[in-house]
Structure 1
Amino acid sequence: MLERPSSKMIRCHTIWIKILCLLILISGCNTLPERSERDLNVQMPLEWRSLSDFDQPSWQNWVDSFDDPVLSELIENALVHNFDLKSAAARVEAAVAQARVDSSGLWPQLTFAPGYQHTQVRSTGFGSAQFSVFEGLFNLSWELDVWGRIRDFRQAAAQEADAVHADFEAARLSLAARIAQNYFMLQEAKLQTQVAAHSVEDRGVIANLVQGRFTRGLARGLDVRLALTDLANARSQLAQAQNRMQLVTRQLEILLGRYPEGSLLKVTHTGTPLQEAITFLHVLPDPPMALAAGLPAELLSRRPDLIAAFTRLRAADARLKSTKKLLLPRITLTAAGGTRDSALTDLIDPRSVVWNVFAGMVQPLFTGGRIQGSIHLNAARVEESFNHYQSVALNAFREVEQALAAEEWLREQEKVLREAVVQTEASQELALYAYRHGFIQILTLLDSYRSTFSAQSAHLAVKRQLLSNRINLYLALGGGV
């Protein structure tokens, strides 16, 4: 006969079971590491090193600060029709859907399999027999998330979806900045074309002047050749400016999600063709008023790419925590049942249903290093995500500091070049007067015109660089659109 266990043995087993459960519970209650956006391995200054006089309106709604309705409309169109941005939006939807998939493990998985079977049995000398059977079977499985492993996995998926959404916001901001920069590049290209065309006219006047003087015996044949060579070079510069204008136009059309036909024929809401509206400006505008750059620490919680990098770090933490809990027992609840009957009406009779329920626990003992390998893999990914966040933060600080410092130097350069334009235009008039009266040689006259063209072209370029740098600053500060 089997002896019944004594009460002492039962109490001893109960104590050991409680101790085991307590140890498992303690080992499963580890929490995510406390992280902050400011946890950087580099010393972050309290204020920007390159800060000068940026103490005016904020970086928010920076598009409106240019007070250009055509620019605003171009950006609005691009945010709707740009295909790269549409792809980014689709990635957000995919990430949200993936988060739903990863969250499904928290809930019971129930399946139902109805069926019908028809059988005909032939017997020698006894004819045949037919019978039909209807069946309805169900299966249920549910892993009880005692240790929170599935919840950690779900949290990682949700944070990854948040990171993808931050990527989308960064893509919107980057697209708006590229539209604005290409818009002002097109403005500059148009003005550069006008300057080059005016230079061709001036060189033509000089060529005619030298040709006339040569006819009257007041100039040498070399002077004519030099003047015609200079005219040919001016025409080459005009062709180069026209080519650059069509290149920028097609690039802008691509950003707007249109066929790159090089015309920008779409009509604005005011009824003006975009090509006419874009070329309406006769000078490049000055950058908007100086802005409040804020503090370096504020950038960490405002700029979309930094938010995405930090959120992915938190997702990696949650994924590592979930992987470590694979070492703990998995408690599952399963159930199966159903009914079979020859009459379909009896199939739905609850009294005919047969079912069973089973609760079990699986404790990994040896997996060939699979679990430990997964833990090491996710730990390495946490380290990778942390270092990537550090790199993204440093690059963000560099972009802000660089744009702030460039603003001052570009303004100084623009001021000097503006003065150079005034001086070269004045010297050009004096040189023409002096050549007509025989005071200077043809090379001096041609140099004065080349200097004027170079100064005008350089001044337009630096004015456009000022605008592009201001847009880069808005982009670096994470300004909204």
Structure 2
Amino acid sequence: MFSKTTQTLGIALLLGGCGAVPQRDVMSISPKTPAHWAADNAISTKQATQWLATFADPALSQWVNVALVANYDLKAAATRVEIARQQARIAGAGRLPQLGFSTDYQRGNLSNSSENTADALFNFSWELDVWGRIKASQQAAQQDAEAASADFYGARLSLAARTAQSYFDLLEANLQVEVSEQSIKDRRIIVELVRGRFQRGLTGGLDVRLVLTDLENAKAQLASAQNQVQLITRRLEVLLSQYPGGNLKHTADLPNPPPMISAGLPSELLTRRPDVIAAFERLKATDSRLASAKKALLPRITLTANGGADLLDPRAAAWNLAMGLVQPIFTGGRLTAEIRLNQARSQEALHNYQSVTLNAFREVEQALAAEQWLYQQEQALKQAVEQTQASRELAVYSYRQGLIQILTLLDSYRSTLTAQSQYLAVRRQLLNNRIDLYLALGGGI
């Protein structure tokens, strides 16, 4: 016949099994994952791991590498990883024996006789983690550390992408300034042309006013383009952890996007993207905390020992050893509330993981689809630039011959400027969208 103690331990072991951490599978808890990407231009071979070198731009590579070394936000993210790792160590410290040592010296005078004592005291305690309550808590902290590590990797990838996109933004902004400066030169030529015709009585004063107004509008557009340069320059300097003095200079033409990389399979995204990995680790951490909360209902077994000795009289020493079992009976509903709280947090983490995953799929599909539409837009605007340049030359000739009004001539110049500006913008958008695709796929740098 079993003793009451054996029966109690048997029941506790049975209840302890109920607090086991569930084994999560990414495929079973993720939103429905298709076998292939919906975009027609997706290449489903093995995903590429590097993208920075594909641009073959030494200045771009240099600035990205500087940002990865110097950026303060990235350093803070790295520090958060270390914080999470140390918290995991703290969480697991309770599984090990705790030993303390102290000394005490007293000097006394009683009945004309002095009595001095010097004691050495020690305390020992150890909770036997029979049911794995502390282990589950430690495991949760370790999973939080894994999530922080994934966050750091994601922050590193995001920083590289933001730096590269800001680099292309700066190239475009400088080119927009050049386009605006050339537009002002062209408009000044038109002003001289109209003034000459006015002096010869071939046109009215309204035409002069209109071309002068158009010239001032072009100057305003130039000022706007120059302001955009300084804004992007200072933003890029901060990414590089430099003082935002607007002193960073670099001019070059916008390159063509590198060859399309493989997007792999949608299912690969679940184990590749840092934010998806971090969300999954945080889900597992909530599961571990739920298991720890359930095991808090079980009895705790502890070993304690304490003792001491008089250093002045080694014969005066004492110690004791005890083993205790503490079973929570009534806690005002705190333990059950903690279980329900962790259950709710686990559900929240599950839904958050599903949301992050679905958003990851959206970003990839969106970038793949945008690749096609931006390319078509870029080709159309390229043709528009050529057409507007030809129409502008024809408009100047027609105005000299008195065949068209001044507004038609000015419209031809505005159309040229607009087409050139939009063409530069869409070329930059193509490059930035390609980087968005690399970022969405979660590959290496």
TM-score (norm 2): 0.97
Shift of 1:216: 1.5
Alignment of 1:326-345 (within 5 A): 326-341=296-311, 343=312
1:400 equivalent among 349, 357, 364: 364
Give the whole-Å Cα distance in 2 for the aligned partners of 1:113 and 1:197: 80
Does structure 2 retain, via aligned residues, the 8 Å contact 1:119–1:130?
yes
Paired residue secondary structure (2:26): coil
Partner of 2:259: 289
Does structure 1 retain, via aligned residues, the 8 Å contact 2:303–2:321?
yes
Partner of 2:93: 104
Partner of 2:189: 205
2:179 equivalent among 163, 179, 195: 195
Partner of 2:75: 86
Give the whole-Å Cα distance in 1 for the aligned partners of 2:91 and 2:40: 46
Shift of 1:111: 0.3
Q: Give CA-to-partner distance per residue, 1:136-179, whole Å, 9 cap, x none.
A: 00000100011111111111110110101111111111111110
Shift of 1:58: 4.3
Partner of 2:344: 380
Paired residue secondary structure (1:335): strand
Partner of 1:432: 396
Alignment of 1:349-428 (within 5 A): 352-428=316-392
Larger Rg: 1
After superposition, the Cα gap between the structure-2 partners of 1:180 and 1:210, relative to the gap in structure 1 and judged at 3 Å, is same
Shift of 1:437: 2.2
Shift of 1:41: 5.6
1:155 aligns with 2:155: no
Partner of 2:58: 69
Alignment of 1:155-174 (within 5 A): 155-174=139-158
1:316 aligns with 2:316: no
- The ranges of structure 1 where at least 4 consecutive aligned residues each deviate by more than 4 angstroms after the TM superposition are 55-58
After superposition, the Cα gap between the structure-2 partners of 1:57 and 1:296, relative to the gap in structure 1 and judged at 3 Å, is closer
Does structure 1 retain, via aligned residues, the 8 Å contact 2:123–2:307?
yes
Partner of 1:28: 16
Structure 2: where are the runs of 5+ without partners? none
Shift of 1:353: 3.3
For 2:302, the aligned partner's letter is T
Paired residue secondary structure (1:364): coil
Shift of 1:352: 4.7
For 1:220, the aligned partner's letter is G
TM-score (norm 1): 0.90
Q: Give CA-to-partner distance per residue, 1:415-457, whole Å, 9 cap, x none.
A: 0000000000111111112212222221111111110000000
Does structure 1 retain, via aligned residues, the 8 Å contact 2:51–2:444?
yes
Q: Give CA-to-partner distance per residue, 1:296-317, whole Å, 9 cap, x none.
A: 1100000000000000001111
Does structure 2 retain, via aligned residues, the 8 Å contact 1:55–1:290?
no
Does structure 1 retain, via aligned residues, the 8 Å contact 2:36–2:44?
no
Shift of 1:477: 0.4
Partner of 2:209: 225
1:472 equivalent among 416, 436, 441: 436
Paired residue secondary structure (1:353): strand
Aligned pair count reads: 444
Give the whole-Å Cα distance in 2 for the aligned partners of 1:58 and 1:205: 54
Give the whole-Å Cα distance in 1 for the aligned partners of 2:189 and 2:443: 50
The two structures, once aligned, show a CA RMSD in angstroms of 1.4
Q: Percent identity?
A: 56
